[in-house]
Structure 1
Amino acid sequence: MFDNMNIPLNLFFENLEKEKIAELFKNVFPWEPLKVLKIYLLDIISDLPKEIPIGVPLSESLFFTTEGEIIPLKEIDIYDEEYYFRGKKIEGAILKAGAILTGRKIFFEKDVVVEPFSLISSPAYFSKGTQIRHGAYVRGSIYTGEKAVIGHATEVKNSIFFSSAKAPHFAYVGDSILGNNVNLGAGTKLANLKFSKKNIILKINSETIDTGLKKFGAILGDRCQTGCNSVLQPGTLLGKESYVYPNRVCGPGYFLPGTKIK
Structure 2
Amino acid sequence: MLTPGSFFDLADSPCGDLFTGCAHVWEPLKKLKAYIDARTEPTFRHVCLTDGVPLDSPYVFFNGKLRNARECIITYGDTSRGGLSVWENGQILEGASVIMGGAVIVGRNIRIGRGVLIESGAMVKAPAIIGDYSEIRQGAYLRGYCLIGRRCVVGHTTEVKHSIFLDDAKAGHFAYIGDSILGANVNLGAGTKFANLRFLPGTIIVRTPQGAVDTGLKKLGAILGDRVQTGCNSVTSPGTLIGPDSFLMPNVTAPSGAHPRKSVIR
Alignment partner of 2:139 out of 114, 135, 141: 135
Corresponding position: 1:189 with 2:209: no
Corresponding position: 1:261 with 2:257: no
- After superposition, the Cα gap between the structure-2 partners of 1:190 and 1:48, relative to the gap in structure 1 and judged at 3 Å, is same
Alignment partner of 1:87 out of 72, 85, 90: 90
Q: Deviations over 1:80-127 (max 9, x none)?
A: 854322233313210011111111110111111001111111111000
Code of the aligned partner of 2:117: V
Q: How far is 1:17 from its partner?
A: 2.8
Partners of 1:109 and 1:186 lie apart in 2 by 26
Superposed structure 1 runs of 4+ greater than 6 Å apart = none
Q: Is the 8 A contact 2:43 2:65 kept in 1?
A: no
Partners of 1:147 and 1:233 lie apart in 2 by 27
Q: Deviations over 1:24-57 (max 9, x none)?
A: 2122111111112112111111212221513211
Corresponding position: 1:70 with 2:66: yes
Partner residue in 1 for 2:57: 60
**Which sections of structure 1, spanning at least 5 residues, go unmatched?**
1-5
- After superposition, the Cα gap between the structure-2 partners of 1:99 and 1:52, relative to the gap in structure 1 and judged at 3 Å, is farther
- After superposition, the Cα gap between the structure-2 partners of 1:114 and 1:155, relative to the gap in structure 1 and judged at 3 Å, is same
Code of the aligned partner of 2:256: P
Secondary structure at the aligned position of 2:70 is classed as helix
Aligned residues: 255
Partners of 1:8 and 1:142 lie apart in 2 by 22
Q: Is the 8 A contact 2:58 2:99 kept in 1?
A: yes
Partner residue in 2 for 1:21: 15
TM-score normalised by L of structure 1: 0.93
Secondary structure at the aligned position of 2:129 is classed as strand
Partners of 2:99 and 2:54 lie apart in 1 by 11
TM-score normalised by L of structure 2: 0.91
**Which sections of structure 2, spanning at least 5 residues, go unmatched?**
76-82
Partner residue in 2 for 1:158: 162
Partners of 1:77 and 1:202 lie apart in 2 by 51
Q: Deviations over 1:148-186 (max 9, x none)?
A: 011001111000001110111000000000001101111
Partner residue in 1 for 2:108: 104
- After superposition, the Cα gap between the structure-2 partners of 1:7 and 1:174, relative to the gap in structure 1 and judged at 3 Å, is closer
- After superposition, the Cα gap between the structure-2 partners of 1:197 and 1:119, relative to the gap in structure 1 and judged at 3 Å, is farther
Alignment partner of 1:200 out of 182, 200, 204: 204
Larger CA deviation: 188-197 vs 46-55 = 46-55
Secondary structure at the aligned position of 2:92 is classed as strand
Partner residue in 2 for 1:212: 216
Partner residue in 1 for 2:80: none
Secondary structure at the aligned position of 1:64 is classed as strand
Partner residue in 2 for 1:3: none
Secondary structure at the aligned position of 2:32 is classed as helix
Corresponding position: 1:243 with 2:250: no
Secondary structure at the aligned position of 1:17 is classed as coil
Q: Deviations over 1:239-260 (max 9, x none)?
A: 0011010100102000111000
Code of the aligned partner of 1:189: K
Identity %: 42
Partner residue in 1 for 2:178: 174
- After superposition, the Cα gap between the structure-2 partners of 1:131 and 1:210, relative to the gap in structure 1 and judged at 3 Å, is same
Q: Is the 8 A contact 2:85 2:96 kept in 1?
A: no
CA RMSD of aligned residues (A): 1.5
